[in-house]
Structure 1
Amino acid sequence: MTDLTLPDVAAQFTHHTVPLDWVGMCGIALPLMFHAQQVRGSADAGVSLDCGEARGIHMSRLYLALEVFEHQALNPALIRQVLQRFLDSHADMSASAYLRLRFEVMVKRQALISPLAGWKAYPVTLTARLHAEVFHVELNVEVSYSSTCPCSAALARQLIQQQFLQDFENRSLAHEDVLAWLGSAKGVIATPHSQRSFAQLEVRLQDEVSELPIEALIDQAEAALGTAVQTAVKREDEQAFALANGQNLMFCEDAVRRLNLALKTLPWLSAFNLRVTHAESLHAHDAVARSSWNWQGKRAPM
């Protein structure tokens, strides 16, 4: 009888015995369970190919190991379980397993003053590695906020002073006159420029962390910055936001320093790498600053 066993070409030996750092798949569509809700995600999954004589890995085994994310809550223990399954299915071939998950966390945010509320989406990238029983989980979260330029604010104040002198030079002033002038168009003859800005928070979790503290990280960052972008607002909220911007003038250097100090207080972090981008409204380019703490290895400045 003819042998109809399907050939396994990947299991054949190669003539080029070169180990490979990473082999796997990128951009796998994947549902994830986070906070009892299913979210749309994507995964990059791979292992090292340390056996140089092996031609390739068994990618389908990695793919099938990801199925647990559809029904089980996303947490470090589950991620480690999946990575261990990667290695178990490639015994004698691979010593390291890697996983990167991309998804969005939806958080409902209250308006500053009014009872309105709305949803914000925060992009999240989770990266995990397992090698020789050493397991690391890193989170990369993007937070958007408003930044008002301190230099522009000072220049605007000077113009307002000059206009005040021009309108009231050699005149005695009553309280009502000043109040009316401040409420007129001349009282705000110049305004400082501000822009939507972005903070990339790349953090490494302590080994004993049992949950993914994504919302706690976002809350800490937004509190430090003071001007997180809003969702549904009324006029009183917009006025409160204008006040917050006026009281939180910052260059990109100021913003990244605030985040550095704030994140160092979080006990479940072991390291972080920060990048803030102010998408300039004055210039046609962005202003960028970076800062890190306990991060091993040098990173490129951009």
Structure 2
Amino acid sequence: MQTIMPDIADTAEALQTGTLDWVGMGNIELPLLFSSKGLSDITVTAKADAFVNLQNEQAKGIHMSRLFLSLDTLSCEQTLTPSTLKAVLESFVTSHQDLSNAAKVALHFELPLRRSSLLSGKQGWKNYPVTITASLIDNQFLLEIAVDVTYSSTCPCSAALARQLIQQAFTEQFAKQQLNFEQIHNWLGSTEGIVATPHSQRSIANIKVKLACDSQEFDILALINCVEHELKTPVQAAVKREDEQEFARLNGQNLMFCEDAARKLKALFEVSNYQDYYIKINHYESLHAHDAVAYAVKGLPQGYQA
């Protein structure tokens, strides 16, 4: 005779009644086969947060194992796409009939991409932190991608101050001399000629974009590429001397405060096809102990807030 095991979520009374916005699990380890336009399908190791709401005021709780098993099916039998993610959310809700009518999942992982060097033609791996968040609320499917893009930012103020010091050093060295091209050329290539350099710092652009609810595929590569192309100075993977020199040139030709970086990306996303966007610029200062930060959003009434 089979013993019927008790289901406390269905049978026990809640200690206190009331609805809850989200109930579920966080940091579920989950290998996933990720599919995105322009990339071969790739296995990523994700951490998943999975939730449903609890609209039944009298219910003790939800069935967390049902959320876990839906995600496990996605992991073992399917490829991560907008449609499979929507199906997971629908299974969350149908498996919680009379308890829940909304679901949400967030998948956090690092996406490894092969990136080419600036000049030498070498390639190397770079990992990009990615979060895909999807929700199903009132039968409306919402989908967003967040990615962190790391780049170098060189301070325009320190660049101007460095140029002034170089001018002063030039005056002190050659004020009373009749100069020729070779003297100036040699001086500029010496340590005496470059008496000061501007400071630069590793910086990160945190980007979130909302996709159309009928999106058929992810296109994370295009999102990363357009951000890096706009900023001009993404952190490199494989680097030879010619690549390092080109990186120095790009930094010198693209001086920017955090405000400059935020405005560049705001202008970029204003003409994009994304439903909404959120930008946070973090310049991790080498001069100060604090960071320089700027935000920009599309400004929709019910959209992202800075």
Return the TM-score normalized by structure 1. 0.95
Q: Does 1:289 align with 2:298?
A: no
Residues in 2 aligned to 1:187 and 1:213: alpha-carbon distance in whole angstroms: 47
**Superposed counterparts of 1:261-300, under 5 Å:** 261-267=267-273, 269-297=274-302
Q: Secondary structure at 1:236's aligned position in 2?
A: helix
Q: Deviations over 1:28-59 (max 9, x none)?
A: 00011114221111101010000101111111
Counterparts in 2 of 1:293 and 1:300: CA distance versus 1, 3 Å: closer
Residues in 2 aligned to 1:80 and 1:165: alpha-carbon distance in whole angstroms: 68
1:198 — aligned with what? 204
Q: Secondary structure at 2:111's aligned position in 1?
A: strand
Counterparts in 2 of 1:46 and 1:218: CA distance versus 1, 3 Å: same
Stretch of structure 1 that moved more, 121-130 or 202-211:
202-211
**Superposed counterparts of 1:29-68, under 5 Å:** 29-35=29-35, 36-68=41-73
Residues in 2 aligned to 1:84 and 1:295: alpha-carbon distance in whole angstroms: 27
Fraction of identical pairs, as percent:
48
Residues in 1 aligned to 2:154 and 2:268: alpha-carbon distance in whole angstroms: 20
Residues in 1 aligned to 2:265 and 2:303: alpha-carbon distance in whole angstroms: 20
Structure 1 counterpart of 2:18, one-letter code: V
Deviation at 1:300, TM superposition (A): 7.1
Residues in 2 aligned to 1:73 and 1:300: alpha-carbon distance in whole angstroms: 32
Q: Does 1:181 align with 2:180?
A: no
Q: Deviations over 1:259-278 (max 9, x none)?
A: 111122322x1001110100
1:213 — aligned with what? 219
Return the TM-score normalized by structure 2. 0.94
Deviation at 1:296, TM superposition (A): 4.6
2:38 — aligned with what? none
Unaligned runs of 5+ in 2: 36-40
Q: Does 1:73 align with 2:79?
A: yes
Residues in 2 aligned to 1:294 and 1:41: alpha-carbon distance in whole angstroms: 31
Deviation at 1:69, TM superposition (A): 2.4
The aligned length equals: 299
Q: Secondary structure at 1:85's aligned position in 2?
A: helix
Deviation at 1:72, TM superposition (A): 1.9
**Alignment RMSD:** 1.5
Q: Which runs of 4+ in 1 moved over 3 A?
A: 294-301
For the 8 Å contact 2:276–2:304, the answer to whether it is kept is no
2:24 — aligned with what? 24
Residues in 2 aligned to 1:107 and 1:18: alpha-carbon distance in whole angstroms: 46
For the 8 Å contact 1:24–1:46, the answer to whether it is kept is yes
